[in-house]
Amino acid sequence: MRNIDDIRINKSVITVADIKDKRSDLDYWISQPPEERFAYVELLRQINYGKSATSARLQRILTFVKQA
For 20, other C-beta atoms within 10 Å of its C-beta total 6
Amino acid in position 41: V
Region of 50 on the Ramachandran plot (φ > 0 left; ψ -120 to 50 alpha; else beta): left
Instruction: Report, in angstroms and rounded to the nearest whole number, the Rg of the chain calculated over CA atoms.
Output: 20
CB 54 within 8 A of CB 46: yes
Banded pLDDT at 32 (limits 50, 70, 90): very high
For 61, other C-beta atoms within 10 Å of its C-beta total 5
pLDDT average, residue stretch 19-40: 87
Residue that wins the pLDDT comparison between 58 and 48: 48
Its pTM stands at 0.54
